[in-house]
Structure formats: C-alpha cells, structure tokens
Amino acid sequence: MTPLRKRRGDELLAALLVARENENRWMELSPEASADGERMAQWASVAKLRRIEVERIEALLTEMGASIQQGAAGFEP
C-alpha cells in the first residue's frame, strides 16, 4: 500500500466515524410526533442525507479495499 493510499484510507475512516456520529446524534434529536408535517419532513430528509453520507463513505472504503486486494493478488514475493 502506498503512503498516499494509506493516508486516503485513514482519512476515509475518520470521515466515516464523524458521519456515523453525526447520524447517531441526529437520530437522538428525533422530534416528538408533531402536527407540523413540514418540520417532520425536513427532519426525515436530513436523516436520509446523513444515512446516504455514511453509505457513500462505506462504499468508497469497500472499493478501496477491493482494489488493494486485487493488487495484492497479482503480487508474488
């Protein structure tokens, strides 16, 4: 693994931890059932965006891991 690839992996892991913390915090702030439908819709939209952020970072880490494994598979010491 090159130093650049390792640094990118470390940065993605850090971003994933922050994204998961943000998602968890947002879920804890879940508004009580409210008659204000617009407020509930906005909260749900933000919750969905936070979930998508986590999924995108996880996908990037998976792709990165797959490319590392493919490179290692062709390597013969």
Q: Mapping DSSP to helix (H, G, I), strand (E, B) and coil, where does residue 19 land?
A: helix
Q: What's the CATH fold of domain 11-72?
A: Helix Hairpins (1.10.287)
Domain boundaries, the chain: 11-72
Quick one: which of 12, 63, 22, 66 has its CA closest to 46? 22
CA distance 5 to 13: 12
* Verdict on whether the full-model pTM lies above 0.75: no
pLDDT in tens, 36-53: 788 888 999 999 999 999
pLDDT in tens, 13-23: 999 999 999 99
CA distance 52 to 42: 15
